[in-house]
Amino acid sequence: MSLQLKDLYSQHTILGGFVNNINIITISSDIGAGKKGACKGPKAVIEHLNISNINYPITSIEPINTTHHQLHPYAKGIDTVLEIQGSAIAIIKEIFANESGFNLIISGDHSNGHLGISAVKESYPDKKIGVVWIDAHADLHNPGTTPSGNMHGMPLAMSLGIQINPTDKNILTDLEMAKWNELLHIGNSKISPKISPDNLVFIELRDFENEEAAIINELQIKNFTPDDRKQIGIVKIAELTLNYLSACDLIYVSFDVDSMDPSVSEGTGTPVPGGMSKMEAIELLKCLMSSSKVVALEFTEINPDIPQTNSMVQVAAEILNQIL
């Protein structure tokens, strides 16, 4: 696997907005998605950010010569996902080690969420990592339970170290199980799990399968639903989330644009009705990022190739311009 690494800006400056001293990392990979095109999302969003008069570091990780392997129907592209994540963790870890300030990750598909979490854990192995997963989907499948085989439905199972169960519905080969185990232990330190279920919070979850519901119930993962938002408001949910994760040393926030309602998020692969408005998303992220523990924010699943009335690229950029 080759990764093309581009240093688009080399100077470090202080932003005049909400966040000071920010590093941007783009990961242009959509190998884990069922619909192709999200690999174009990071670059498209960057072009719409208000950065014309500001120079600050942007590192672009671009896989080249990749092939979407179809050898594993219940773990599509797992060979490539493994290679991308294994190489990119080292790059991101170096950025975390050498740069001060806040980190914004704009990624193609949500399988890269495991990459981001792994890079934080690899950089801070002795720290307790909290994760806020803002998404319509639970992303808790593994190759044994997945209905689609798409890896973007599995990143939290990877980070939680969820093993394949012999009683799972999908029959896998020894090679597929070995590759899954390798993915769980990605990184030089081979740490698995990367996070504890006690340190994970779902926000806007509303579309998941029975196997994922069983994991949420068994592990008692905190979950703020759209009904909770309607009852207590998005700002209160943010406050409760930070309070719930108060024992964590660092917090990773992952924002899938399908957490918003399809009236806002047309340009994403798996939209689900009943999500947040754009303003609610801005309020949520502003509140979460008021915590100095938030080490990184990931924006993901922006697909410019999907026909849309409202530009998801522009919506994502507007949200980031508001909160940065």
Which residue range(s) make up the domain with 257? Answer: 2-323
List pLDDT tens digits, range 143-156: 999 999 999 999 99
The enclosing H or E element of 28 equals: none
Across the strands, what pairs with 105?
25, 298
108 has pLDDT over 80: yes
8 Å CB contact between 154 and 183? no
Q: Write down the pLDDT at residue 268.
A: 82
Q: What is the CATH number of the domain that holds 67?
A: 3.40.800.10
Task: Kindly state the tokens that stand for 109.
Answer: 């598909």
Q: In what order do the strands lie in the sheet with 250-256?
A: 2-9, 58-64, 22-27, 102-107, 294-300, 250-256, 129-134, 200-203, 222-224
List pLDDT tens digits, range 185-221: 999 999 999 999 999 999 999 999 999 999 999 999 9
List pLDDT tens digits, range 25-45: 999 999 999 889 999 999 999
CA-to-CA dists, residue 184 to 85, 119, 314, angstroms? 11, 13, 34
17 has pLDDT over 90: no
247 has pLDDT over 70: yes
8 Å CB contact between 115 and 89? yes
Q: What are phi and psi of 70, to 5 degrees?
A: -110, 15
Residue type, 104: L
Looking at the 3D structure of the chain, how many domains does it have? 1
Higher pLDDT, 3 or 125: 125
Task: Kindly state the tokens that stand for 75.
Answer: 């773990």
Supply the pTM of this predicted model: 0.92
List pLDDT tens digits, range 252-274: 999 999 999 998 877 786 879 99
Q: What are phi and psi of 138, to 5 degrees?
A: -80, -30
